[in-house]
Amino acid sequence: MSPAPARERRHLFGVAWPIILSNLSAPLLGFVDTGVIGNLGDAALIGAIALGALIFSFLYWGFSFLRMGTTALVAQASGAGDDGELQATVLRAFLLGLVIGAVILLCREPLAGLAFGIAEGSAAVESAGREYFLVRIWGAPFFLAHLAILGLLLGTQATRAVLGLQLLLNGTNILLDLVFVVGFGWDVAGVAAATVIAEVIAVIAGVVITLKRFPTITNHLARVLEPTALRRTFAMNADIMVRTLTLTFGFAWFTNQGARAGDVVLASNAILLQFVSFSAFFIDGFALAAEAMVGHATGATNQTRLSAAVRAAVELSVAAAVVLGALFWLLGDTVVAILTNVPEVAAACAAYLPWVIAAPFISLWSYLLDGVFIGAGRTREMRNAMLGSLAIYLCAWWVLQPFGNHGLWLALMVFFIARAGTLALYLPRIVRPNQI
């Protein structure tokens, strides 16, 4: 692979750094959620937050096409110079998010019954997890509408606005976590209520930003139901939904297998997954920047800019993985000690910490290729690659069961490798091999 032009690296880094900062606030929120609950001295409450968050991953990640599909279509419309379709794309996603969120809210009781009927945890974990779920579910319409706004801002490379919105969302959430849990003693219900209020505030701010950037956006309402655009949108969204639910199932399987091993293993895996999330959100900043730049180049039919964006993203992602691996090696035990005061949980975290040190080097390729394929609109290939990767992951888990939780972590690493490998097979459809 030839080096990317310096100007392309500078441009990608300029797009990426606000995303990285905004992304880092998300695992920081996870650390605070886990920390305020972990220091209550009850491993079951940590597990409840883990299972509750897992259930919302199924509900929300399945609809992440509201962000991913919007980013791709907005970036391509921007590259093609079609401002009307750009704004109509955002309106479609925003209205769809509100409708889906309202349906989820109306179905909250049966959804809770189904979710906790499938999830495997102790009675104490299930009771606290259900309480968390039934409070947090009220934020569904706001969270999903917010995804559409993020898609607009990322697709137009307005990443400083993304940073402002995410800092508002996560900063408000963290502040309210401390007020509700530490101050009022509301434990898991306090964590959930903090999330709902923060989501409402963030979507209001997002609407204000959107109207300021596109004051005539409502003039394009008539284009929302344009048949050709709708067919393309729904086809792309269906592929992304299958891909995302498959990915979510993979992580759900990981958490559920940890739950079957007991509250201590479940809690330790929940804490260590915060490290994985931290590295994912960090490296994903470069992937999201590549997503926007690849989408713009695709819309403009500029193969040279597309391949340069891919090369720049690879170089910066590898550098980020080196930094993250070193940080986890040097500070991992210290961070675990901050997140929990339960001795059994801390000891389990120490035993499995090497897996999270290795994770950035192994996972970066799957994150990066996801961004490239989303930006290029190659969602069918993403869907097929993820289905194949899940099959490989489950086979690895089955073979590695005798190794206990270490085997479970190794299977997760196999999942990352399979995701990258299967996408790499399709990469020549996007970038000519002689231009990488």
For residues 307 and 36, the model is more confident at: 307
- Expressed in angstroms, the distance from the first to the final Cα of the chain is 5
Range of lowest pLDDT (118-127, 303-312, 394-403): 118-127
61-74 tens-digit pLDDT = 778 889 999 999 99
- In total, the chain counts a number of residues equal to 436
DSSP designation for 431? S
Widest CA span of the chain, in angstroms?
61
Amino acid at 149: I
Question: Pick from 205, 78, 216: which is nearest to 154 by CA?
Answer: 78
What CA–CA distance (Å, rounded) separates 353 from 45?
22
Element (H, E) at 386: helix 379-400
CB 323 within 8 A of CB 357: no
Residue pLDDT, tens place only, 139-153: 999 999 999 999 999
Q: Model pTM greater than 0.85?
A: no
User: Got the DSSP string for 140-163?
Assistant: HHHHHHHHHHHHHHHHTT-HHHHH
Answer yes or no: are the C-beta atoms of 132 and 49 closer than 8 Å. Answer: yes
* Span 342-372, pLDDT tens digits: 888 889 899 999 999 999 999 999 999 999 9
Asked if residue 436 has pLDDT above 60, the reply is no
Closest alpha carbon to 209 in 175, 140, 174, 159: 159
Closest CA to 368 of 295, 315, 302, 426: 315
Report d(CA 236, CA 420) in Å as an integer: 20
**Residue 71 and residue 377: Cα distance in Å, rounded?**
10
Helices 263-299 and 303-339, axial angle in degrees (round to 10): 160
Q: How far apart are CA 396 and CA 242, in angstroms?
A: 22
Judged by average pLDDT, the poorest of 26-35, 244-253, 361-370 is: 26-35
